[in-house]
Structure 1
Amino acid sequence: MTAGKWDDLAPRLFSAVAMVGIGALGVWLGGLWFHGLIAIVVGLMVWELVTMLDSARSKSPLILAGVAALVSLVAVEIPPAFALPLLLMPSMLGLGRMEKGGVTYAVFTAFILLAGYGLMTLRDDFGLTWMVWLLLVVVVTDIAGYFAGRLIGGPKLWPRVSPKKTWSGTVAGWAGSALVAAFFISATRAGVGLIGISIAVSMASQIGDIAESAIKRRAGVKDSSRLIPGHGGLLDRFDGMLGAALFIVIAGQLVGFPPGAQ
């Protein structure tokens, strides 16, 4: 009985190591290598989303996923003013093709495309340091929330959609992101405003996580797919990163980034 609880440990560990290794290599190399990796991830996420919302049409997922991946590659190479309508094109193409949840598809696909674009431009424009900052904020938010939620417990954040998430874990995620910001303030020329931005990014990652949970609940599925052994799908693993990257796209237009380091 006890051994059965650990049957999936090996595939989970192997998948985790593979994901970390591939992701770290892509982030380190940057440029076209990173763009290609993000385009593949974007395409697979759109494929997962369509599969959840449009199970009756076998061709839609592959077509829309291919368009999303191609759009991601092209958008980052052209001026932003022309990239924006291109990034929304996959949403428009699939809006009327969904078996259920056409609006959900259109909105979440736009989030996926804009988040992928945000990750690519962050790496291109600000370099490895700030890409690592974003990754650490998201990871620390998740880890701090996990342990605080289980050690402290308390009121649930939104039990109907995400029954395991607590307010204690949510606040712990914000505190963890502030600590990440404090480290980067000491290591770079960024100002104290980075603390506020990091907490907001932490919140955005939590919203992304909950939004993906709501879509799965509406679709009646436990995981977005079975692409990653022991982990489910890419949307299951990177929903928080979607929210964080999308927020960076917006925040970059509102405040100087990194704050105080211009």
Structure 2
Amino acid sequence: MATELKRRVISGVVMAAVVLAATWVGGLAFRGLAAAIALLIYFEWSTITRLTERNFTGNLVGWVGIILLSANIAFGDNGMNMPFLGGLAITMLLIVAVGGGTWWLPGGVIYAGLSGISLAAIREGGFPGLAAILFVFAVVWATDILAYFVGRALKGPKLAPRISPGKTWSGAIGGTVSAVIAGSLVGLAVIGVVSPWLAVIALLLSVASQIGDLFESFIKRRFAVKDSSHLIPGHGGVMDRVDGLVFACFAIFLLALAYDASSGHLGLSVGEFLFGL
């Protein structure tokens, strides 16, 4: 086995073990993982977009904000995460609007912060939270794996040739169909029935996941980089690994928030929103 392949396999096994262990344990372990992902995403985003060169002071403020937000995700009051991120985002927007700089600065703060917040929020709530995050994992992994294999087998028209030349419409459709099946199977295991509601949510999350993948490809192409970093041996960076996952998490988290606000079911967890548990 080639050295690079060995590194890729070993790091992949270690990553999977850490993520699945934290997912199973939940609580502080998973919140800590979500906080670490937020910090690493901001590091990679700021490196790719060269925020230190373009706006040193603004990026320093961004780092302080993301560190404080990540600490609150891991150890603080989850109800304060979104207000904190909102205040931080407004601060970064004002810094750029008044003092100049790059709009990639507030974009990075929002992207990294919402990644950590949504991941932590989905896993909250005991068994419903565990079921919810496993549902998201199943949908995203099914999308990634089947989109790759179906796309290679069927080929056909390109999905977004200027952004990611390797992706095809056949792969995107195949990934979405497999995600609906995977999400429905998780729902069957959790609530004992195949739910049309969960099938629709799985479809939406699959589409969001693929948009997230294309979004990261756009950023890398915009700044002429191959990988978001070299933090993970053989795999590139954290953003390379979680691009689709975080967009799917954004989607289900924001859908649950919107339902929560519109229905008056204040404090409803994502697991309760999905499965009615």
Q: How would you bin the TM-score normalised by the shorter chain? A: 0.7 to 0.9
Offset of residue 69 of structure 1:
3.7
Q: d(CA) in 2 for partners of 1:79 and 1:14?
A: 34
Offset of residue 144 of structure 1:
0.5
Q: For the structure 1 residues 109 and 117, does the alpha-carbon distance in structure 2 shift closer, same or farther, using more than 3 Å as the test? A: same
Contact 1:39 1:73 in 2 (8 A): yes
Offset of residue 73 of structure 1:
3.3
Amino acid at match of 1:78: D
Instruction: Give the counterpart of 1:178 among 177, 180, 203.
Output: 180
Residue 68 (structure 1) aligned with residue 83 (structure 2): no
Instruction: Give the counterpart of 1:38 among 23, 34, 43.
Output: 34
Residue 112 (structure 1) aligned with residue 112 (structure 2): yes
Match of 2:121 in 1: 121
3-state SS, counterpart of residue 157 of structure 1: strand
Where do 1:82-93 residues align within 5 Å?
A: 82-92=80-90
Offset of residue 7 of structure 1:
4.0
Match of 1:78 in 2: 77
TM-score by length of 1: 0.87
Amino acid at match of 1:117: I
Offset of residue 8 of structure 1:
1.1
Amino acid at match of 1:113: G
* Structure 2 unmatched ranges of 5 or more: 261-271
Contact 1:147 1:169 in 2 (8 A): yes
Offset of residue 187 of structure 1:
1.8
Offset of residue 244 of structure 1:
0.5
Where do 1:95-244 residues align within 5 Å?
A: 96=95, 102-125=102-125, 126-189=128-191, 191-244=195-248
Residue 29 (structure 1) aligned with residue 25 (structure 2): yes
Q: Per-residue CA shift, 1:62-119, capped at 9, x if unaligned?
A: 7744531430331574363x4323124554565557xx98323322431331232111
3-state SS, counterpart of residue 221 of structure 1: coil
Contact 1:144 1:169 in 2 (8 A): yes
How much identity, in percent, do the aligned residues show?
34
* Structure 1 unmatched ranges of 5 or more: none
Contact 2:58 2:105 in 1 (8 A): no
| Number of residue-to-residue matches in the alignment | 255
Larger % of helix: which? 2
Contact 1:149 1:165 in 2 (8 A): yes
Q: Per-residue CA shift, 1:165-222, capped at 9, x if unaligned?
A: 1001101111011101221232222732000000100111111111111111111111
Amino acid at match of 2:81: A
Q: d(CA) in 2 for partners of 1:162 and 1:102?
A: 24
Contact 1:161 1:217 in 2 (8 A): yes
Offset of residue 38 of structure 1:
1.1
Q: d(CA) in 1 for partners of 2:131 and 2:170?
A: 30
Q: d(CA) in 2 for partners of 1:84 and 1:260?
A: 23
Q: d(CA) in 2 for partners of 1:260 and 1:15?
A: 33
Q: d(CA) in 1 for partners of 2:9 and 2:60?
A: 29
Amino acid at match of 2:242: F
TM-score by length of 2: 0.82
3-state SS, counterpart of residue 164 of structure 1: strand
3-state SS, counterpart of residue 224 of structure 1: coil
RMSD (Å) for aligned C-alpha atoms: 2.6
